[in-house]
């Protein structure tokens, strides 16, 4: 019987062994490693792929793998790409980028949706990465976000925020929120949620202690955004987000990086690398050039706020 | 699958083989389903990363990680035996507590070990391909610890640990304190798991508080697949099976990752489904084998 299992295993493995040989020398192979399915991360991937396709690259082979939030699998994905000697690796998220960076010093790696590439050990500095890794950072424009909130709620002094203390990106965002809030004489009340089901309790803990709530780009909280909206509406607490998708889900306003465009921006970096126009070690980490302002006036009314007309004119999109 | 990917799957199989030996000790030997491993694997990684980034020695960090795991396991064992908390729940409590503790230890949810010294550095350039070094080093560590575990389970105390899993009432009647056998067993198990986490962090270039997700599944899969291969005979053979199971599990994941066969290709989101199916097949396989055997004898 053991032979049967062995044969089954062989059947599983055999068709795979030959499947990844490069079809022709001209084909460009790009490995895409993503830690988990998530709208923002998916958008960067879409932007990256579409940028390259729109730029007239024909023989390009995108090999997309998702680790389903399992770090060991993410390591195996990195192995697969390095073993296949792909021409370039596009790594979406901090852990995915670290896993590929640990394995190769030769294959160019471009990351996306990494908030603090220096702390993550991916680059020596933002200006001069120094190795085979560069990319775009999604560091939130916290100062501009608080300025926006100041325009809507000039008197607000107590900022509430909710995040998962296990998400490295959120921890650095909150650190910056605290610094920027202090500059504006605001106090910050934090609540943490380790899973999306704990988000509602976290919001409830802020009720009565804060004048408004600002949510950073935290995967856990954004997954359960509806529960934040509900509590904020019930208690008339204005709710702001750091990603535009949350505005259609119930935030009053968001000034944010556009993950799709950030993917395209990274795609443009990839083209420069593939065409030999730039050395990755000398390519500075890029920030989002244009920010998007989304507003939701109806939601604002439900949370007891009126959005100023000047702001409505500036908005890239107004959710009706 | 390229040679490089294959070696990588072996490396992960061996690293998780250490963890799986821990799971074997609790799940099979002690009959104690211990879920704290989802927390003690990142605990080992966290301790190791904190020491290395603080300028400490990688070997020392691995030893410290093992000890931290022992403490975590002791906690699970003590609250389960002394406070009479259901074993499944005791493990879950330790696991969630470790989540916070791990962030405390690292001072952040993620610590990078890229460009830091590792236990693998010293063995570079000793005649093996560079990328195969971690695999070879982990294999040696794994074999040594496997033999240590086998020997431990042959000692008087080890036999009492095994008997605790089989028939606690009988063990108590013999005058052995089952609380102690459980606490020591769970401690050792988590020590192995944490050591595996420390090696994983060094091989993968970072420690992340989320890296424990799915540890228990991978451990159980290794134990069960191993049994399907070698059957549950002596401890010596069973622990070989566990290691084999861990390697096979990683090979299947690697295969699933590189599976592309025209319209039959798998979506990246299918991975968890494949894992579950694999474990179910391995779980039912011994029973099917028994059925077929009994039919053959008729």
CB pair distance less than 8 Å for A83 and B3: yes
Question: What local confidence, expressed as pLDDT, does residue A22 receive?
Answer: 39
Size of interface A-B (CB pairs under 8 A): 160
Q: Is B59 within 8 Å of B234 (Cβ atoms)?
A: no
Chain B residue numbers with beta carbons less than 8 Å from the beta carbon of A75 are 8, 12, 200, 203-204
Report the complex ipTM. Answer: 0.77
- Cβ atoms within 10 Å of B163's Cβ, excluding its own: 18
* Ordered strands of the A239-241 beta sheet: A187-192, A158-163, A212-215, A239-241, A253-256, A292-295, A317-318
User: Within 13 A of B245's CA, how many CA atoms are on the CB side?
Assistant: 33
Cα B163 from chain centroid (whole Å)? 22
- A203: helix, strand or coil: helix
CB pair distance less than 8 Å for B269 and A82: no
Question: What local confidence, expressed as pLDDT, does residue B265 receive?
Answer: 66
The burial class, CB within 10 Å (0-12 / 13-18 / 19+), for A90 is buried
Chain A residue numbers with beta carbons less than 8 Å from the beta carbon of B229 are 2, 5
Nearest residue of A to residue B97, measured between CA atoms: A194
CB pair distance less than 8 Å for B285 and A103: no
Nearest to B261 among A19, A102, A120 (CB): A19
Helix axes B58-81, B37-53, angle to 10 degrees: 150
CB pair distance less than 8 Å for A194 and B96: yes
CB pair distance less than 8 Å for A13 and B251: yes
Nearest residue of A to residue B226, measured between CA atoms: A2
For residue B157, CA distances in Å to A28, A216, B148, B185 come to 60, 53, 14, 10
Q: Alpha-carbon distance B74 to B65, whole Å?
A: 14
Chain B residue numbers with beta carbons less than 8 Å from the beta carbon of A15 are 259, 261
| Three-point CA angle B28, B32, B33, nearest 5° | 90
Question: What local confidence, expressed as pLDDT, does residue A18 receive?
Answer: 40
CA of A195 to nearest chain B CA: how many angstroms apart? 11
Question: What local confidence, expressed as pLDDT, does residue B274 receive?
Answer: 79
Six token digits for residue A280: 């990755």
pLDDT in tens, chain A (320 residues): 555 555 545 444 444 444 444 334 479 999 999 999 888 899 999 999 999 999 988 899 999 999 988 899 999 999 999 999 999 999 999 999 999 999 999 999 999 999 899 999 999 999 999 999 999 998 888 999 999 999 999 999 999 999 999 888 899 899 999 999 999 999 999 999 988 888 998 999 999 999 999 999 898 898 899 999 999 999 999 999 998 889 999 999 999 988 999 999 999 999 999 999 999 999 999 998 788 999 999 999 999 999 999 999 999 999 98
Question: What local confidence, expressed as pLDDT, does residue A24 receive?
Answer: 41
Give me the helices (H) in chain B, please.
3-23, 37-53, 58-81, 87-106, 133-154, 156-166, 168-173, 178-204, 215-230, 235-257, 271-297
Selected residue of B208, B233, B249, B260 to mutate for chain A interface (largest A Cβ count, 10 A): B208
Question: What local confidence, expressed as pLDDT, does residue B284 receive?
Answer: 83
Chain B residue numbers with beta carbons less than 8 Å from the beta carbon of A116 are none
Question: What local confidence, expressed as pLDDT, does residue B232 receive?
Answer: 65
Question: What local confidence, expressed as pLDDT, does residue A169 receive?
Answer: 84
Q: Is A145 within 8 Å of A292 (Cβ atoms)?
A: no
CA of A299 to nearest chain B CA: how many angstroms apart? 34
Selected residue of A22, A74, A84, A102 to mutate for chain B interface (largest B Cβ count, 10 A): A102
Selected residue of A83, A107, A171 to mutate for chain B interface (largest B Cβ count, 10 A): A83
Question: What local confidence, expressed as pLDDT, does residue B259 receive?
Answer: 67
Question: What local confidence, expressed as pLDDT, does residue B264 receive?
Answer: 63
Nearest to A98 among B114, B200, B272 (CB): B114
pLDDT in tens, chain B (298 residues): 788 888 989 999 999 999 999 999 999 999 999 999 999 999 999 999 999 999 999 999 999 999 999 999 999 999 999 999 999 999 999 999 999 999 999 998 889 998 899 999 888 877 777 788 999 999 999 999 999 999 999 999 999 999 999 999 998 898 889 999 999 999 999 999 999 999 999 998 899 998 998 899 889 989 988 988 887 678 999 999 999 999 999 988 888 777 665 566 677 677 778 778 887 887 787 777 778 777 766 5
């Amino acid at each position: 019987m053991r032979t049967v299992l062995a044969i089954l295993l062989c059947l599983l493995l055999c068709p795979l062994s030959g499947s990844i040989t490069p079809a022709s020398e001209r084909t460009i192979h790009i490995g895409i490693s993503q830690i988990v399915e998530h709208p923002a991360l998916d958008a960067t991937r879409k932007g990256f792929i579409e940028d390259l396709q729109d730029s007239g690259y024909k023989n390009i082979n995108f090999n997309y793998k998702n680790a389903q939030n399992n770090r060991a699998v993410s390591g195996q994905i990195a192995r697969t790409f390095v073993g296949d000697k792909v021409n370039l690796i596009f790594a979406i998220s901090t852990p995915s980028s670290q896993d590929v960076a640990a394995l190769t010093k030769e294959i160019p790696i471009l990351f996306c949706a990494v908030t603090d590439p220096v702390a993550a050990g991916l680059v020596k500095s933002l200006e001069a990465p120094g190795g085979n890794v560069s990319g775009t950072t999604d560091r939130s424009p916290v100062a501009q976000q608080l300025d926006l909130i100041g325009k809507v709620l000039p008197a607000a002094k107590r900022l509430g925020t909710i995040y998962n203390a296990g998400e490295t990106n959120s921890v650095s965002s909150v650190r910056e929120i605290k610094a920027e809030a202090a500059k504006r004489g605001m106090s910050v009340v934090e609540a943490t949620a380790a899973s999306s089901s704990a988000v509602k309790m976290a919001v409830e803990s802020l009720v009565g202690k804060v004048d408004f709530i600002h949510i950073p780009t935290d995967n856990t909280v954004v997954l359960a955004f509806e529960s934040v909206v509900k509590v904020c509406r019930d208690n008339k607490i204005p709710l702001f987000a750091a990603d535009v998708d949350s505005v259609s889900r119930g935030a009053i306003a968001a000034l944010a990086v556009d993950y799709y465009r950030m993917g395209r921006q990274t795609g443009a970096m990839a083209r420069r690398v593939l065409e030999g126009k730039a050395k990755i070690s000398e390519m500075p980490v890029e920030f989002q050039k244009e920010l998007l302002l989304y507003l939701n006036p109806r939601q604002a009314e439900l949370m007891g706020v009126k959005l100023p007309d000047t702001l409505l004119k500036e908005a890239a999109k107004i959710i009706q | 699958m390229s040679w490089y990917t294959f070696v990588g799957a072996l490396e992960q199989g061996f690293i998780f083989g250490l963890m799986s030996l821990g799971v074997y000790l609790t799940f099979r030997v002690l009959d104690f389903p211990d879920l704290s491993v989802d927390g003690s694997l990142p605990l080992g990684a966290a301790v190791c990363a904190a020491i290395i980034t603080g300028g400490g020695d990688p070997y020392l960090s691995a030893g410290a990680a093992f000890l931290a795991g022992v403490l975590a396991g002791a906690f699970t064992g003590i609250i389960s035996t002394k406070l009479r908390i259901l074993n499944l729940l005791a493990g879950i409590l330790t696991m969630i507590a470790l989540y916070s503790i791990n962030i405390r230890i690292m001072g952040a949810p993620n610590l990078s070990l890229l460009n830091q010294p590792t236990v693998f550095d010293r063995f570079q350039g000793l005649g093996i391909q560079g990328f195969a070094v971690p695999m070879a080093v982990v294999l040696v560590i794994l074999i040594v610890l496997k033999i240590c575990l086998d020997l431990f389970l042959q000692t008087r105390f080890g036999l009492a640990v095994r008997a605790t899993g089989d028939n606690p009432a009988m063990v108590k009647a013999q005058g052995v304190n089952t609380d102690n056998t459980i606490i020591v067993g769970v401690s050792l198990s988590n020590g192995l798991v944490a050591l595996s986490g420390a090696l994983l962090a060094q091989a993968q270039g970072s420690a992340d508080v989320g890296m424990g997700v799915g540890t228990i599944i991978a451990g159980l899969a290794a134990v069960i697949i191993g049994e399907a291969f070698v059957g549950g005979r002596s401890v010596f053979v069973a622990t070989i099976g566990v290691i084999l199971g861990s390697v096979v599990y990683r090979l299947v994941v690697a295969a699933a990752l590189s599976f592309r066969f025209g319209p039959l290709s798998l979506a990246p989101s299918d991975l968890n489904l494949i894992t579950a199916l694999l474990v179910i097949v391995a779980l039912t396989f011994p029973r099917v084998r028994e059925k077929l055997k009994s039919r053959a004898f008729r």
